Amino acid sequence: MAYFVTQECVNCGTCALKCPNWAISEGDEIYVIDPDKCTECLGFYDSPQCVETCPVNAVQLNKDLGEDYDQLMAKWHRLHPGESPKGFVLRQDKTKPVIALVHSGTADPKGEKLLEKMDTLIMSRFPDHDVVWGFQGTYDFNDGTTYGTIIDRGNQQLTILDEPYPFGIRIIAASFGGPDSATIHVCDDTALLSINAGDEVVVTCGSVTVEVISGTVEVTFVAEDGTPATANLDQGDNITFEPETFAITNNGSSPAEVNIYGIPYTINPDEVLFYISIDIKPGSEPNSINLGAKGVVPVAVLTTEVFDASTIDPSTVTFAGATPVRWVFEDVDDDGDLDLLFHFKTQELDLTESSTIASLTGQTTDGDSFIGSDTVRIVPKKGKK
């Protein structure tokens, strides 16, 4: 279906500049869209750019033009002969979910036969799916709920499948791919996947869930504040990540290990791990620690919009391997919320002169685990520089 411009148009021209098919031009009174050139941006973007950019919502769908996916793609190839589509959309309104065969041809006859064999195997394994097309390069995919970008295909032969709603996207790498990993960003870059030959993974956006069907997939989750957590997920592992609260849930049947700022943490099945905000030596910058001192180091767990420090079970808390000698509730950061301030004996800290980050771990009264990290500056012991 092509789009058209309504009388609400203010003639700003933004839509014409954004149209990849040059289908929009100035009319006698308002801008107009040529239906013979409009592909709904299919072949370039995962959504119509004129609709997204119009400041007055003056671009509407022309329901009188009942074009389906195949007709739009035929139009695209007519407008751009000899070119390859720049992206694809896994359209939920089709009668079947779809397969995107993500690879390029090769001059090697043996390689061509392997690709044909892979395509046949995939299509026989998922008979209820319609084939879209293959391509090489950096492109977007979107089924309306789960979306992402192939940043670098490496030398992998990939297949992207639209899973039945709401189960997301399935990514399959053929077993005969090369040594260079494919890099795929999903869900607004909140998860970065490194895919190698033989890997198969299902991804769902919203609360970002990554389930590994086969192989070992390296995943980097990125919270809204930019904090990363990396994990090497094996076959059967299933992790859900909440980027707003930095909560990681292990949905699988085996322990999973995540690494936050170089600190490994094991999440047991059905366990939730929260990454929290802490402040070592509140009011001090840098957070200098003299390992030869006999005093204590204060560490505050801050109450935020997504974590309440009053839910902590103090008996479960450790900081750099040490247990607290005392704790007290007070508003450490003067924001009106009660934080939890711990004190730890300096000489019990498992830190070295090369340490730059220290972490605090523990559990809430509900049994949920948490970890928080902050930078430290270790003061050399006397006699050392």
- Which of 70, 75, 27, 24 minimizes the C-alpha distance to 51? 24
Q: Which amino acid is at 269?
A: P
pLDDT tens series, the chain, 385 aa: 578 999 999 988 889 888 888 899 999 999 999 989 998 887 777 678 898 889 899 999 887 777 776 788 788 888 888 776 665 444 444 444 555 555 543 434 455 555 555 556 665 666 665 554 444 444 677 777 888 888 888 888 788 887 775 578 889 888 877 889 999 999 989 999 999 999 999 999 989 999 999 999 999 999 888 889 999 999 999 999 999 889 999 999 999 999 988 788 899 999 999 999 999 999 888 899 998 888 999 999 999 988 999 999 999 999 999 999 999 999 999 999 999 999 999 999 999 999 999 999 999 999 889 999 999 999 876 655 5
Q: Which CATH architecture has domain 3-79?
A: 2-Layer Sandwich (3.30)
Under 8 Å between Cβ of 285 and 273: no
278-379 CATH fold: Immunoglobulin-like (2.60.40)
Assessment of whether the complete model's pTM goes beyond 0.85: no
Looking at residue 91, what is its pLDDT? 45
Tell me the sheet residues that pair with 214. 200
Q: CATH 3.30.70.20: which residues of the chain?
A: 3-79
pLDDT at 305: 87
User: pLDDT at position 112, please?
Assistant: 52
- The CATH 2.60.40 portion of the chain extends over 278-379
pLDDT of residue 166: 58
